[in-house]
Amino acid sequence: MTRPLIGVLALQGDVREHVRALEASGARALTVRRASELTAVDGLVLPGGESTTIEKLLHTFDLFSPLQERIADGLPVYGSCAGMILLADRILDGAPGQRTLGGLDVTVRRNAFGRQVDSFEEDLDAPLLGAGPSDPALHAIFIRAPWVEEAGPAVEVLATVRSGPAGGKIVAVRQGALMATAFHPEISSDHRVHEVFVGLVASRRG
């Protein structure tokens, strides 16, 4: 079987790291900046960066509506950090007028861990990502990250923060073909999140 072709939206953010993580997880990767590239891919990654900037660039590059249509058609999409915000149906603490692509029945709180804390690392409980009680913990890197404040009934919780002030907060979810993490697995050497997404794309491919 040929490896699935997974796009990485390449308007802003940490694109190269996702390309490498996807290739290390058994996919072919393609950077996506135009509608014809979006049509070609079996799945798409929305990288971390700045959600308001990515939203503006999606309009500038005429990708906002085509991407919303592909999401509605069942395209597998994985959003990391700003990408999680873009996939959320509802945002708290968004910029004035900020819109999302939507698709995930969640409310995310932007910059939820506090503006004073730029980045930090946490161990997560994530049995569905291969990080159950008897596995190595999923070590996650957060950068001005959101969290999931509330999730609808169809949303599966993939990971929560294990302990500390944010203990129990939901930081990874899946609903149908959509997956999102508040953290950045692409900048760690642990590829379990990308492997799960590549598996999801492969299973959904015609």
Is 110 a binder of ligand GLN (CB under 6 A)? yes
**Is 81 marked active-site?**
yes
Nearer to ligand GLN, 184 or 202 (CB): 184
Q: Are 180 and 56 in contact (CB under 8 A)?
A: no
Among 56, 139, 144, 204, binds ligand GLN (CB under 6 A): 144
Nearer to ligand GLN, 100 or 202 (CB): 100
- Strand-pairing partners, residue 32, are 9
Catalytic residue among 17, 81, 194, 195: 81
Site for ligand GLN in 30-49 (CB under 6 A): 48-49
**Is 50 marked active-site?**
no
Catalytic residue among 184, 191, 194, 195: 184
Site for ligand GLN in 75-94 (CB under 6 A): 81-82, 85
The catalytic site residues sit at: 81, 184, 186
